Amino acid sequence: MQKIAVVALGGNALLRENEAGTIEQQETNTTETLENLIFLINEGFELVITHGNGPQVGNILMRNDAGQQLYDIAPMPLDVCVADSQGGIGYMIERMIRNVLQKHGIKKNVITLVSMTLIDPNDPAFSNPTKGIGKIYSEKEAKKLQDEKGWIFKPSAKANGGWRRMVSSPQPVDIMNREIIEDLVRAGNIVIAAGGGGIPVYFDENNDLRTLDAVIDKDLASALLATKIKADEFYILTDVSFIYKDFGKPTQEKLEFLNYADTMKYLEAGTFSEGTMAPKIKACLYFIKNGGGKSVITEAKKLEDKSYGSKITMEYDK
């Protein structure tokens, strides 16, 4: 019986902390991560791969700034930068996984899709931008850009006295071309899609596609895609092997087997950090609530060891 798994690659799967971000480093990291997906293929799963783009799109935005300041090159808007990152990262993943498949004697087609994600332009998130993007500016530079471009800036916790451009993070409503993605994966192809959460778009009063400056959570968009294509399992690959209650505190406790109700209780009690694990938990719960069979959060290298990884398996009681 055909099985589908959606696998969301975290940022560390491509670019590790304290690395310069050279293409050689990213290709090595990507290959190491993709090697672990062979286990899922051998288990009979057809794969859809999604990925983050935070560091990469940030670098593209900084190249925007440098090109404008040094050579008067017209900067591209955020949606085009997200599309650029999807194309570049998707190409890298596709090339690396083709090499991994060839190494293991597996014959499969691989295709990368630049994906748009539908959002609601009236989403409350637009009244409170919370996602920092691009470089860190001085307060003077930030205020000048705010006056010139209407961008919103806030002090950055990552740099003393620095300011960063902030954009909204609306909820994903639908993934465009999801029917095509499902057709392709059910035909036995590996599909790379919804990179960076997708390019945020909406339909205006004339039914024309428009965009807004926003960043969509990659894990939530991946869970939505997994639900829409009726995937059986949803994996989030990150830099920890398990979900932990009270991570980093004396009361830290590993949570390996979870059901929907208990996980919701932990989430509502503030057990998981809003900046790191909570969005991943919400994505996993969304998948289970909407008919998914199993959500797993773990490290890529732990996939084959079934004793690792936190699993949310109990279906939502409708």
Catalytic residue check, 280: yes
Q: How far apart are CA 149 and CA 21, in angstroms?
A: 29
> Which of 10, 11, 58, 197 is labelled catalytic?
11
Q: List C-alpha distances in Å: 84 to 64, 95, 113, 177.
A: 12, 17, 12, 18
> Which of 58, 135, 280, 282 is labelled catalytic?
280
Catalytic residue check, 108: no
Q: How far apart are CA 122 and CA 273, in angstroms?
A: 27
Q: How far apart are CA 189 and CA 199, in angstroms?
A: 23
Amino acid in the structure at residue 63 = R
- C-alpha dihedral over 140, 160, 152, 81, to 10 degrees? 100
Cβ proximity of 165 and 154 under 8 Å: no
> Which of 218, 282, 294, 311 is labelled catalytic?
218
- Closest residue by Cα to residue 196 from 223, 224, 222: 222
Catalytic residue check, 282: no
Distance of CA 270 to the CA centre of its chain: 22
- Closest residue by Cα to residue 202 from 79, 119, 122: 119
Q: How far apart are CA 84 and CA 68, in angstroms?
A: 17
Cβ proximity of 155 and 107 under 8 Å: no
Catalytic residue check, 135: no
Catalytic residue check, 12: yes
> Which of 67, 88, 131, 301 is labelled catalytic?
131
Cβ proximity of 53 and 85 under 8 Å: yes
Q: How far apart are CA 167 and CA 179, in angstroms?
A: 29
φ and ψ of 55, to 5 deg: -60, -40
Tokens 């890529």 -> residue: 300
**Active-site residue list:** 11-12, 131, 218, 280
